[in-house]
A and B are shown apart, each in its own frame.
Chain A
Amino acid sequence: MATAITVETAHGEGQGIHEGHGHAGHPPPSAGVDSRKLLMWLFLTSDTMFFGTLIATYMMYRDRSIQLLTPPYPNDIFDIPYTSVSAFVLLMSSLTMVLALASIQRGNYRGLRIWLAATALLGGIFVGGQVFEFTTFAHEGLTLSSNVFGSSFYVLTGFHGAHVTIGVLWLVALLVVSLRGGLPKEKAMSVEIAGLYWHFVDIVWIIIFTFVYLVPYPNPVKEATEAAPAAFLHLVSLGQQMLAALPF
């Protein structure tokens, strides 16, 4: 992922090699903002479309497996108290992240390391919780292939989980750099950018937690299959004919 790459700019800000003197003949950034921060904001803007696609797909398929009577159903699978705790953990990791930034901006390196470690730890707990959640759900019969609910649920939350995992690795890398003395106050921007990414992952979870977990699901109605459009049933019968025509 491009986000995990620390990048340089022709302004020489990337690795902070040139702090303390103006770069030869280079004018200041014409929009008056840090190029790397601008890059991160652009990435996050684009990421709204990534998660927009995933969440919209989930919302479109939200009730479909209930209507088609293809279990397992969300109401039998979700464990709201458990997920509420993970949501709380991720929310609090945003607080520790912002405290890490406040520490480095004030030159408090000990605080920076403590809060970075805390954020990475909370993120790790969240990912671990998600792995446990996935395992439990799989034991209860919800897999990627069991129905469209399983497909869209695992891919959406898994994509988010991958974002969190990358974030944890990034935070750990910052922590190691800081412990080796490579993260002075002048490089607060490195922490700020990681923080922007981290908070974005958090706001995506705020949306997922509400729309995937909390907004209630209907219970399956036996007559629901009759609601399936005629065209769909026609497609199924067409597919059955095609399957019958297959040589194997």
Chain B
Amino acid sequence: MASNVAHGQQVIGHAEEEHTTPQEYVRVAIVLAIITAIEVFIYYLPSARPLLVPALIILSLAKFAAVVGYFMHLKFDNRLFQFMFIAGLVVSLSVFLAFLAMFWYSTSYMPLT
């Protein structure tokens, strides 16, 4: 960024450098804190038990996306980084879901829940 501009180089994807202001960062953090509070709250809510696991997965993915997208700036950054990181996530998720499926469904050590 700044150092690259000093190099006189055309740096793609930095037009949005000032895209996110500190106020917005604080807002994102507040949302993250609220989601965490909801997660812990529903953990203690007996009536939420049947839907607890899907709810936790959705909430944690939302937190994940918010930190990667805003704090790590990936949402506004070079598409190369977006492609790399998302492709890496897809490979590692598919590999390890297949791995877990093989363990859980080919032995009797299935999760008890």
Contact = CB atoms under 8 A, between A and B. Distances in A.
* Chain A interface category by residue count: 35 or more
A98 B93 contact: no
B76 to A, nearest CB: 13
B84 A80 contact: no
B3 A42 contact: no
A105 B36 contact: no
B36 A88 contact: yes
Contact of A216 (B7, B8, B32, B113): B113
Instruction: Please report whether the interface of chain A is mostly helix, strand, loop or mixed according to DSSP.
Output: helix
A84 B88 CA distance: 29
B60 A210 contact: yes
Interface string A201-225: 0110011011100111110010010
A102 B96 contact: no
Contact of B96 (A19, A41, A53): A53
Nearest to B28: A95
B88 A214 contact: no
A52 B11 contact: no
A199 B81 contact: no
* Chain B interface category by residue count: 35 or more
Given A52-B92, A52-B96, A218-B113, A207 B67 contact: no
B2 to A, nearest CB: 5
Contact of B112 (A23, A66, A202, A228): A66
Contacts of B71: 94-95, 97-98, 195, 199, 202
Contacts of A163: none
Contacts of A94: 29, 32, 67, 71
Given A206-B64, A229-B108, A88 B33 contact: yes
B108 to A, nearest CB: 5
Contacts of B22: 99, 102
Contact of A48 (B13, B52, B89): B89
Contacts of B26: 95
B99 A60 contact: yes
Contacts of B21: 102
A221 B60 contact: no
Interface of B: 1-4, 6-13, 17, 20-22, 25-26, 28-29, 32-33, 36, 39-40, 43, 49, 52-53, 56-57, 59-60, 63-64, 67-68, 70-72, 78, 80-81, 84-85, 87-89, 91-93, 95-96, 99-100, 103-104, 107-109, 111-113
